[in-house]
Structure 1
Amino acid sequence: MTNEYDAGNTIPSSSHGDDDELFLRLRREAAAVVREEPILAMLLSKVGLLDDDCVVPSSSSPPSSSSSSSSSSVLVGQHHRAASSFEEAISRIVSHRLSSCSGKTESICPNYLRNLLEESFDNVRDLEMGHTMTEAVRMDAMAILNRDPACETLLEAVLFMKGFHSLVLHRAARRAWRPSSMSTSMTNDDEIMDIAGDIPESGEGDDTANIASGGLDPWGEGGGRGGKRFVALLLQSLASSAFGVDIHPASSIGAGIMIDHATGVVIGETASVGDGTTILHGVTLGGTGKETGDRHPKIGRHVLIGAGTQILGNITVGDRSKIGAGSVVLRPIPSGATAVGAPARIIGFTARGERPGSTVDMNLKGVEPLLGDARMGLMDATKKSYINVSKILRKDTSSTEMDSSGGTKTISNDAGGDSEVSGHATGDSEDSTSKEDDRDGVGGVDEEEDDNVTDFGTPPKCRWRRASSGNDGLCPFRGMFGVIPADIKRNCITHKRLRDLLLQEGCSEGECLEVYFELLHSTPSSSDFRRCGAIPLEVYSKCFPDIAKEKTGLDADRVQALAEGDLRALGMSKKASRRFKSFLNRLGASTSSRVPSSS
């Protein structure tokens, strides 16, 4: 189910008091529940969802012998002040839930925790992914109500869903970790004395004194005088123990997030999750080892991540993507893609306009097959991807066959899933420089000189840059496409060639993938180009400018020169242009004459 909150167009009212529709709804649902199930009166009173004059049974009162819903079953008990706002009610609910899960070994005072949550709600300066905590929590609650078929009331979402409670604690922990005002002191003098004991005066050479005066910051960025690092880590630890959800306080999470079931979810320190995303249980957004710095995934908006999925490394998962259950994602996934498997393979396109985070289509029914052949269903495309994965894992991926004329030909897949046919059977459409191009411009003795001048004798605007191939076997398109015939190859740009060209221009791997995937989706689904994973020159020259401006950081003039194949405007050095001269010349000829594609 999708509504205005999932779409992100409207944020529920954040006003305090009786005019708060969301808060009034909670109170109405709480009153209805107490009439039907009086046993919940104590809990609902403690969290402030019942009226002040409501008397609930004390813990020593015997249970009523009558199951009647009348108020006569509630006789003796204690008073609890009613909450005055939605935010206060949520603070009381989460602090009570965490305290009850801790049992008799509480690690933090429930009153302190409740006050900390309320202060975090009141903090309107510290935005997480562009949202205040009030906005984000309200949208989280509505996301559960509208996406989870097991949740029938708003009260259920905020009272029992541990994914929701984990997000509330994370948002408070993040504001303790990275406070909006770094000038506020970490603690007052009394608290410092309680923690550290007697502190020598500043200037005596003692590190403790320097810490107290702000001279040293052993906690690093986000900690020290401006934050409460250990309070944030304590909240993370308590949420992990109580709910089985481990979210680092420094990670960034947008609004309208649903973590369904939540058990086993891990989100790393430098990870980010965009608005409207749905994450199922057992998902890890983690690193790939002991590397430091920015090392965790960046999830876009309205993404659906299936149960048991592992997304590892500093990679991007684009907006409106679907990741099938049990997938292992080690390479970037472009916007609007559907990926499954281990390692993940892209099998199709998300329907245009669909927001997978809201529709929660785990059966992947609304997926357009990658190959574009209407006769090939999604299951056939998925089966094909798994068959090709087994071939990729073999040490020798090339095979020698006899052609119809008695000669031999070698068929091999390149890093981008493109296939080239060479030998006696076909005439390669690339000119004589193609082999030099594939060797990344490795030339002769004048390499250094060739990198200092263009083919036109002018100083270069762009010098030779090596394209890092990485582990080509993990490319999400590996093995998905068939062999590219010569007549198609001379009128297209392949994934590998486009990737090398954009890497030469300084784009990231994720940006290269985004541009290629959008160009592929712009290719007619009935064409042979789509089934080969190739981009027709006419589609490239027409669609590349708008796509590249949106998906990359290249300036408009350079994007236009790349779209037209203008070598002079690009200003590549001889060494750099050696890889792309053949393609750019064909593109320039195609652009000037507008020769239609042979397919």
Structure 2
Amino acid sequence: MATCVDCLRSGVVADPLSKDVPASIYDFAELSSAYHHSKNEEKDELWHRMREEARKDVEQEPVLGSYYVCAILAHGSLESALATHLGYRLATPNLPGPNLAEVILTVLLDDRAIRKAIREDMKAIKERDPACVSYVQIMLNFKGFLAIQAHRVAHRLWLTGRVPLALVIQNRVSEVFAVDIHPGARIGKGVLLDHATGTVIGETAVIGDNVSILHNVTLGGTGKCSGDRHPKIGDGVLVGAGTHVLGNVKIGHGAKIGAGSVVLKEVPERTTAVGNPARLLGGRNNPIKLTKIPSFTMDHTYEWCDYVI
């Protein structure tokens, strides 16, 4: 019988859909990954909570037992579980899941910033998406989350000169999750791709921290230039469904882009843009100046300041 232990470097990784795993999840609930974090590191509370959620799910739906064992409970770390899950989701007959999972796990364990970003992304989804019921569901079923994590791996490969593999991962993510993020794009942490279907992000795009992007959004070029040609999205920005932000334009921190908008010009901080072509709310004819707009202070109260567009 398969043990589901994720010895990825040796290629022994159990298929999450295998019928050969034992029925009881508890036989493997305490198994450790061969590549867990050092014992000196702080306990991973999010991973502990995810495992508890998985146990409760299986108690409620025993038919999920084997799947949850191989996807979560047989692993000693979030990185191991994520690498295996992504590896099998993105695999092809000529690109086996164990091989791809090994590449992903190696990147995750070599880059502390990616490990931190994974957890910040999960927390952001749990906090901002009212449809999210658990961290387990984020890991297994939220394709926006999975697409971003695969991109983080592809981006690291891109930066280290492993361009062919980075592009293959991009292509597989596009085919499997309907999300096309060029491996050259830079994405911060705490990012929510809600629904995610139809999202396209170009090579020189930059996305800040705590950004929320709904489905069918394009952060693309205009087709009239080369080089640095894609949008720069600031921290805390909300991009509505069906929006197209085109060209090397800046969307300021805390800005909001209304659904269905086409943005071709800069949007200042804490400003809302709507329409096709997008216009800035707050005055007539793309206002020259918005005065006395609120901004947050460190103690979470408001202060009023001038802002010139």
- The alignment's TM-score, normalised by the length of structure 2, stands at 0.80
Question: Aligned equivalents of 1:304 and 1:250: distance in 2?
Answer: 22
How far does residue 23 in structure 1 lie from its aligned partner after superposition? Answer: 1.1
Measured after TM superposition, the shift of residue 107 of structure 1 is 4.2
Rounded Cα–Cα distance in structure 2 between residues aligned with 1:106 and 1:275? 36
Match of 2:205 in 1: 271
- Look up the match of 1:232: 166
Q: Displacement, 1:92?
A: 1.5
Structure 1 residues 303 and 170 mapped into 2: Cα distance closer, same or farther (>3 Å)?
Answer: same
Q: In the TM superposition, what is the alpha-carbon distance from 1:16 to its structure 2 partner? A: 5.5
Counterpart in the other structure of 2:219 = 285
Which amino acid is 2:211 matched to? T
Contact 1:16 1:86 in 2 (8 A): no
| Superposed counterparts of 1:166-181, under 5 Å | 166-179=147-160
Q: Which position in structure 1 is the counterpart of 2:96? A: 109
C-alpha deviations, 1:103-134, integer Å up to 9, x for none? xx534221121111111112237xxxxxx110
C-alpha separation in 1, matches of 2:232 and 2:246: 10
32 and 523 in structure 1: CA distance in 2 versus 1, 3 angstrom threshold: closer
Q: Report what 1:150 is aligned to.
A: 131
CA distance in structure 2 between the partners assigned to 1:304 and 1:340 by the alignment: 12
* Letter of the structure 1 residue corresponding to residue 176 of structure 2: A
What do the CA deviations read for 1:243-266 (whole angstroms, capped 9, x no partner)? 000000000000000000000000
Q: TM-score, normalised by structure 1?
A: 0.42
- Shift in Å at residue 279 of structure 1? 0.3
In 2, are the aligned partners of 1:339 and 1:346 still within 8 Å (CA)? yes
Contact 1:310 1:329 in 2 (8 A): yes
Distance 1:318-1:46 versus aligned 2 partners, 3 A rule: same
1:124 aligned residue (108, 111, 123): 111
> Does 2:44 align with 1:20?
yes
Q: Deviations over 1:263-294 (max 9, x none)?
A: 00000000010000000000000000152100
Matching residue within 46, 54, 57 for 1:33: 57
Counterpart AA for 1:522: K
What is the Cα deviation at residue 521 of structure 1? 2.7
Compared CA separation, residues 335 and 114, structure 1 to 2 (3 A): same
Counterpart of 2:75 in structure 1 is 83
2:258 equivalent in structure 1: 324
Q: Find the counterpart in structure 1 of residue 88 from structure 2.
A: 96
What SS does structure 2 have at the residue aligned with 1:285? strand
- What residue number does 2:228 align with? 294
Residue aligning to 1:522: 292
The residue aligned with 1:441 is none
Deviations 1:347-374 (A, max 9, x none): 1xxxxxxxxxxxxxxxxxxxxxx24xxx
Q: Name the amino acid aligned to 1:160.
A: N
Structure 1 portions without partners, runs of 5+: 1-13, 51-81, 100-104, 126-131, 180-226, 348-369, 372-384, 386-416, 418-476, 481-494, 496-515, 525-542, 552-599
Identify, as 1 or 2, the structure richer in strand.
2
Distance in structure 2 (CA, Å) of the matches to 1:170 and 1:269: 12
Q: CA-to-partner distance for each residue in 1:121-174, whole Å, 9 max, x for gaps?
A: 12237xxxxxx1101111111111111111111111111000001001100000
Runs of 4+ in 1 over 4 A off after TM superposition: 14-18
Structure 2 distance, partners of 1:308, 1:523, is: 28
CA RMSD of aligned residues (A): 2.3
SS for the counterpart of 2:171 is: helix
Structure-1 separation of matches of 2:108 and 2:172: 20
Matched, 1:344 2:282: no
Change in 2 beyond 3 A, CA 1:110/1:33? same
SS at match of 2:229: coil
1:311 Cα deviation after fit: 0.3
Deviations 1:516-546 (A, max 9, x none): 5xxx23389xxxxxxxxxxxxxxxxxx88xx
Alignment of 1:172-321 (within 5 A): 172-179=153-160, 227-321=161-255
Residue identity opposite 2:167 in structure 1: L
8 Å contact from structure 1 (residues 170, 247) kept in 2: yes
Contact persistence 2:158–2:166 (CA under 8 A): yes
The answer (yes or no) to whether the contact 2:200–2:220 under 8 Å persists in 1 is yes
State the SS of the aligned residue for 1:521: strand
Residues 282 and 135 (structure 1), Cα distance of their counterparts in 2 relative to 1, 3 Å cut: same
Q: For the residues of structure 1 that align with 2:221 and 2:63, how far apart are their CA atoms?
A: 46
Whole-Å separation in 1 of the counterparts to 2:38 and 2:65: 24
Render the CA deviation track for 1:58-95: whole Å, top value 9, x for unaligned: xxxxxxxxxxxxxxxxxxxxxxxx21111111111222
Total equivalences in the alignment: 262
Distance in 1, Cα, partners of 2:175 & 2:135: 25
Distance in 1, Cα, partners of 2:128 & 2:261? 22
Separation (CA, whole Å) in 1 of partners of 2:234 and 2:217: 15
Which protein is bigger by CA-based radius of gyration? 1
Distance 2:265 2:293 in 1: 23
